[in-house]
Chain A
Amino acid sequence: MQSTVKPAIPAKALAGRDQNLLRLLVMLVFVFGLMTVLRPNEFATLADFNSMMRQFPEYGIMAIGISLTMITGGIDLGVVGTANLSAIFAAKFLIGAVPQGAPPEQVLPYLAAAVAIALATGLLCGAFAGLLISRFRIPAILATLGTQQLYTGIAIGITNGRPQSRLPLLYSTIGNTEFFGFFPLSFVIYCAIAVGIGLMLSRSRFGTCMYMLGTNAKAARFAGLNNASIIIRTYMVSGILSSVAGLIMMARANSAKADYGAPYTLQCVLIAVLGGIDPNGGFGKITGVTLAILILQFLSSGLNMFNNISNFYRDVIWGGVLILVLVFNRLFSIRAERRAVRRSMA
């Protein structure tokens, strides 16, 4: 009999997995330090932190959505389309339904209804993508490229491409609330989502099923998992998260528009991969994704402070980072695999 079996979560496993988190942490400290040294008067000031906390939740939440779909072995490129379509439905409803000059307590129920409409839109958008992927077996990357185009198209169609403004003032007032005069509501929402989704992934049955399906769909079927239902539910979650991001963008811009946040798609994929989500499915954690978001936000805020670096170079930097991370992860996983094999023989 084996006497070496350790109960609970062995430290080795944590160390093995957390190598990735450790690398991200080092990278984060490096970027942070670099920017602090180069721009001591602007970077990492309280005002700068506040502005960063306003910026990253909207794409961070979508990055979490994409990460979830990537863990199941797919990808959701329709997050931005879903976000905008959800926001536009909510905005149309508010503009049409709220009477002019109504007092705040009268507007509040309308806001709740608008949020519900947005979330329901996100849910349906995600369910549709999940249906295409699971029932019609369309590769996720093509299916969601299609839904992205479709949702953006619908959004343009019903708005003629114009921004939906003149929202009730209360919406952006609430949306831009700052707790303790420092933590924006969107940041708090991000934290709640990150913790909730992180818990779902690591501790819930559904989360484990997502990882297993992403590792080997065939084995999942033989183990009795309902693959179609897991996929549809995953894209539904991604859709809901996108609609939350849409609501946040709407609060920040005080309007909704079909083409807000267009470059976010690539940026979110970059975050997921940088954060250690395996593009082949089956592995990755929200902690990693959050660290990746912070790294990119520091980089981007920092770069903004250099007047001689044009915004046009940002794509070069994003693309370069994405490719570097992919190559690095590949090299690293080969090494880690060898080590695991050796350890098992020891």
Chain B
Amino acid sequence: MAASILKVVGIAKSFGGVQALKGVSLEIDAGEIHCLAGENGSGKSTLIKVISGVHEPDAGSIEIVGRRLSRLSPMEAIALGIQVIYQDFSVFPNLSVMENLALNMELMDKRALMNWGRARAIAAHAVSLIGFEVDLDERVENLSVADRQLVAICRALLHDSKLIIMDEPTSALTKKEVKALFAVIKSLQSRGISILFVSHKLDEVFEISERFTILRNGENVAAGSTEELDHRTFAFHMTGREFAEASYKSDRAPGPPVLSVKGLSQVGSYEGISFDLAQGEILGITGLLGSGRTELVETLFGISSPDSGSIEIAGREVRMRSVKDAIALGIGYVPSDRLTEGLFLPQSIERNAVIGVLGRLCNSLGLLNRRAVAELMSKWIAELSIAAKDPSLPVKTLSGGNQQKVVLARWLASELSVLILNGPTMGVDIGAKYDIHALMRELASKGLAIIIVSDDLPEVLACASRILVMRDGAFIQELEPATTTESRLGELSTGVA
């Protein structure tokens, strides 16, 4: 063993004056599971693209299986046994599993006509390699995210891969699916395949990998054996900042509930939901995808109507027919899918932030007061430390964390009594995550009532003053964060002890 399968040294790459990589090195041994960690913008993706031949480096050397290469094209990288599984898996959703698996092989062999019998044989062989049980004729769009990923892995295996690079493979998976994926990764390792596992989740890095490399601002900041790593050093290397996070406890005397939900039910989504929420509280709701958590909070924001039960705001029963009604009642909502529900991606940062308060920024003629808009914007950029060079740029040019801060800014200007955040730090890097958590605590201490919906259990434990676990559309348990653990929460939400 210990023959290195990939060795890159001193890779530099810049894009139009921006130095994305400043002399990065990475070495992966045969049959090793190596973790590449770093925040958004640290250069992880660029490095992967250099290794897979998509980008040509400005400087540095690449050595694959002992062969030193000056230039590398994507086709050569594949021929040398390097496969990348991107976050979107690059599968064709409208084709069947079989077609997805066999198409590439057929194309590579330059055949003009499909031989369906052979395609089936290829596909059956591919899934058998990792013992993946799936209907070969099922369309890929009907599969779960985890299964789609397995299809992509099987496809990679068909090409006699020596190194499989997985770009944040767990970001959309449930705990259980992550476990299953890890088993697959281990089995690949036992076949002598090396894995480069890209992640910014520490727990996963610990669990799966033997060695790690951490990048920050396009430079190597740490590398070594995973055993030498702990939470604090990991977070420090990733961000260059020291963090201390204590659990949140409201220091207010418990007042009357701001929001009170009684026996709320929606057929097929959730049933018999009751809870109270007081000023200064941060209520954590956790549960798996499909537990009804998103449907519940969307009802509280007027997106859908409940079939029975009641919602009271400040002791008065209310009916919300639209989002507008909910906002008028002082409810704000940060949706779970920032990209499709939260933001207008190609529009400017400024427009995205002020859309909710346009009415207040108009002069007596009904025209927008541009100076007021710009002033408000610079105030938010400063207060939320949004890393925006220019508020007129499209919001999609920001990193995930900064995008989420823009969504939050929209609500901070409104007069809110309840703020609901659904998965507020999904796909957000560590630094921004701490910023968002700190902001939540600050808002709560000023008297806002907050609901945070998340399946990031450490996050729920760190932020919430009270936790409700949701499973199959119902609340099954209420917990105090001080007296519970991550594993207990995990058991409750999955129902698996």
Which residues of A line the B interface, CB within 8 A?
1-2, 4-10, 12-13, 199, 203-205, 208-209, 211-212, 215-216, 218-226, 282-283, 340-346
**A residues in contact with B326, CB < 8 Å:** 224
Q: How far is the CB of A95 from chain B (nearest CB, A)?
A: 39
A212 near B355 (CB under 8 angstroms)? yes
Known: A4-B389, A208-B355, A342-B18. A218 touches B370 (CB 8 A): no
Q: B369-402: contact bitstring with A at CB < 8 Å (1 yes, 0 no)? A: 0110011011001100111111111100110000
A214 to B488, CA, bound (A): 45
B392 near A12 (CB under 8 angstroms)? yes
Whose C-beta in chain B lies nearest to the C-beta of A216? B344
Known: A212-B347, A224-B323. A2 touches B381 (CB 8 A): yes
B389 near A8 (CB under 8 angstroms)? no
**B residues in contact with A342, CB < 8 Å:** 15-18
Known: A5-B378, A216-B344, A222-B342. A204 touches B366 (CB 8 A): yes
B175 in the interface (beta carbon within 8 A):
no
* Contacting residue for A215 out of B327, B346, B398, CB 8 A: B346
**B residues in contact with A341, CB < 8 Å:** 397
Whose C-beta in chain B lies nearest to the C-beta of A6? B390
B392 near A282 (CB under 8 angstroms)? no
* Contacting residue for B344 out of A6, A203, A205, A282, CB 8 A: A282
Known: A212-B344, A215-B344. A223 touches B392 (CB 8 A): no
Which residues in window 100-148 of B have CB below 8 A to A? none
A2 near B387 (CB under 8 angstroms)? yes
> Which of B342, B347, B351 is the most central at the interface, judged by chain A CB atoms within 10 Å of its CB?
B347
A219 near B344 (CB under 8 angstroms)? yes
**B residues in contact with A344, CB < 8 Å:** 389, 393, 397-398
**B residues in contact with A222, CB < 8 Å:** 301, 303, 323, 333, 335, 341-342
A1 to B393, CA, bound (A): 19
Q: How far is the CB of A120 from chain B (nearest CB, A)?
A: 23
B340 near A219 (CB under 8 angstroms)? yes
Known: A7-B374, A215-B347, A283-B346. A2 touches B388 (CB 8 A): yes
B256 in the interface (beta carbon within 8 A):
no
Which residues in window 347-362 of B have CB below 8 A to A? 347-348, 351, 355-356, 358-359, 362
**A residues in contact with B366, CB < 8 Å:** 204-205
Which residues of B line the A interface, CB within 8 A?
15-18, 20, 41, 301, 303, 322-324, 326-327, 333, 335, 340-348, 351, 355-356, 358-359, 362, 366-368, 370-371, 374-375, 377-378, 381-382, 385-394, 397-398, 410
B351 near A221 (CB under 8 angstroms)? no
B346 near A5 (CB under 8 angstroms)? no
* Contacting residue for A346 out of B18, B324, B340, CB 8 A: B18
* Contacting residue for B375 out of A7, A10, A203, CB 8 A: A7
A218 near B341 (CB under 8 angstroms)? yes
A9 to B374, CA, bound (A): 8
B388 near A204 (CB under 8 angstroms)? no
B323 near A221 (CB under 8 angstroms)? yes
A224 near B368 (CB under 8 angstroms)? no
B381 near A5 (CB under 8 angstroms)? yes
Q: How far is the CB of A23 from chain B (nearest CB, A)?
A: 19
Subset of 29 A-B contacts with CB under 8 Å? A7-B378, A12-B393, A203-B370, A204-B367, A208-B355, A208-B358, A212-B347, A212-B355, A215-B346, A216-B340, A216-B345, A219-B344, A221-B303, A222-B323, A222-B335, A222-B342, A223-B323, A223-B356, A224-B323, A340-B393, A340-B397, A342-B16, A342-B17, A343-B397, A344-B393, A344-B397, A345-B15, A345-B41, A346-B18
* Contacting residue for A223 out of B20, B370, B382, B410, CB 8 A: B410
Q: How far is the CB of A272 from chain B (nearest CB, A)?
A: 18
**A residues in contact with B324, CB < 8 Å:** 224, 226
Q: How far is the CB of B374 from chain A (nearest CB, A)?
A: 4
A224 to B330, CA, bound (A): 12
Would you list the 7 A-B pairs with minimal beta carbon distance, nearest first?
A344-B397, A13-B392, A203-B367, A215-B344, A205-B358, A224-B327, A342-B16
A6 to B371, CA, bound (A): 11
* Contacting residue for A226 out of B301, B322, B340, CB 8 A: B322
Whose C-beta in chain A lies nearest to the C-beta of B327? A224
Whose C-beta in chain A lies nearest to the C-beta of B366? A204
A282 near B391 (CB under 8 angstroms)? no
**A residues in contact with B397, CB < 8 Å:** 340-341, 343-345
Whose C-beta in chain A lies nearest to the C-beta of B369? A203
**A residues in contact with B377, CB < 8 Å:** 5
Q: How far is the CB of B22 from chain A (nearest CB, A)?
A: 14
Other 16 A-B pairs with CB < 8 A, given A205-B368, A343-B397: A5-B390, A9-B374, A10-B391, A13-B392, A203-B368, A204-B368, A208-B358, A209-B358, A211-B351, A212-B351, A216-B345, A218-B341, A219-B340, A223-B323, A282-B344, A345-B15
A282 to B344, CA, bound (A): 9
Known: A2-B388, A224-B324. A13 touches B15 (CB 8 A): no
**A residues in contact with B17, CB < 8 Å:** 342, 346
Known: A218-B340, A226-B324, A342-B15. A5 touches B391 (CB 8 A): yes
A211 near B347 (CB under 8 angstroms)? yes
Q: How far is the CB of B420 from chain A (nearest CB, A)?
A: 11
A212 to B16, CA, bound (A): 31
**B residues in contact with A212, CB < 8 Å:** 344, 347, 351, 355
Whose C-beta in chain A lies nearest to the C-beta of B391? A5
Whose C-beta in chain A lies nearest to the C-beta of B367? A203
